[in-house]
């Protein structure tokens, strides 16, 4: 199964080359190739995350964490590594740490609520955080801020429902996602100020 996926990924580049040759001008070829490279990176990252979750025997929590954190991180921005390799290592480390917290951390209701609200306020205050390689203009900043707030509101409702039903481990998943994104936003702000 995995070999089929890797073969399909390799065949994708051939498809892009054919499209560029037959239908697309040279200017758009770079955009298509970049989009395809990003697609491969995301797909391989997701596969890696699923494999890690399976190894840790936390597939349900691992998938739930990805569902919560990915849209928030994508729109809020934050710290970006200088290379894809470094990004992969940092992302893997963060994901493993988050799963370990979800799996082993004792859940105390007031701590859960407190950390949830503090991290949500940090996200509201800072998001979106751009990077040196991808500066946002005022319109983009407004669009990403609004998207982040909508996602934050939806996931906050999810947190409250889980908390009210005493499904604390699942509420912790949302909390850990918020804390992670808040830390990434702060790290991105610090990096931008240094550079």
How many CA atoms lie within 13 Å of 31's alpha carbon, on the beta-carbon side?
A: 5
Residue 4 pLDDT level (bands cut at 50, 70, 90): very low
Indicate whether 43 and 119 sit together in one domain: no
Indicate whether 2 and 68 sit together in one domain: no
Q: Does the pLDDT value for residue 14 go beyond 80?
A: no
Helix ranges (H only) for the chain are 2-22, 26-55, 59-76, 84-104, 109-126, 138-164, 168-194
* Beta pairing partners, 131: 134
Residue 7 pLDDT level (bands cut at 50, 70, 90): very low
Indicate whether 43 and 67 sit together in one domain: no
- Distance, CA of 56 to CA of 103 (rounded, Å): 9
Where are any strands of DSSP class E within 11-157?
none
Domain count, the chain: 2
Question: Do 171 and 115 contact (CB within 8 A), yes or no?
Answer: no
Question: Do 116 and 159 contact (CB within 8 A), yes or no?
Answer: yes
Domain hosting 184: range is 56-194
Q: Which two tokens stand for residue 164?
A: 């009210």
Mean pLDDT of 166-178: 96
Interval 45-87: pLDDT, tens: 889 899 999 999 999 999 999 999 999 999 998 888 888 788 8
Indicate whether 12 and 71 sit together in one domain: no
- Cβ count near 72 (within 10 Å): 24
- Distance, CA of 40 to CA of 52 (rounded, Å): 18
Say which residue, 145 or 85, is predicted with more confidence.
145
Indicate whether 84 and 9 sit together in one domain: no
Q: State the Cα torsion 105-157-49-146 to the nearest 10°.
A: -130
Mean pLDDT of 172-195: 92
* Beta pairing partners, 77: 129
| pLDDT attached to residue 6 | 44
- Distance, CA of 182 to CA of 190 (rounded, Å): 12
């Amino acid at each position: 199964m995995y070999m089929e996926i890797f073969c399909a990924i390799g065949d994708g580049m051939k498809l892009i080359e054919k499209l560029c040759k037959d239908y697309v001008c040279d200017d758009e070829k770079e955009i298509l190739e970049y989009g395809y490279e990003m697609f491969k990176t995301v797909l391989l990252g997701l596969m890696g995350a699923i494999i890690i979750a399976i190894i840790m025997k936390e597939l349900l929590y691992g998938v739930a964490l990805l569902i919560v954190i990915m849209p928030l991180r994508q729109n809020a921005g934050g710290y970006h590594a200088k290379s894809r390799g470094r990004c992969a290592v940092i992302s893997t480390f963060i994901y493993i740490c988050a799963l370990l917290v979800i799996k082993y951390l004792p859940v105390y209701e007031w701590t859960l609520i407190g950390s949830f609200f503090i991290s949500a306020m940090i996200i509201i205050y800072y998001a979106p955080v751009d990077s040196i390689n991808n500066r946002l203009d005022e319109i983009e900043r407004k669009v990403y801020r609004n998207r982040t707030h909508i996602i934050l509101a939806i996931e906050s409702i999810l947190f409250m429902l889980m908390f009210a039903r005493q499904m604390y481990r699942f509420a912790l998943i949302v909390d850990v996602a918020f804390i992670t994104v808040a830390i990434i936003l702060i790290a991105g702000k610090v990096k931008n100020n240094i550079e």
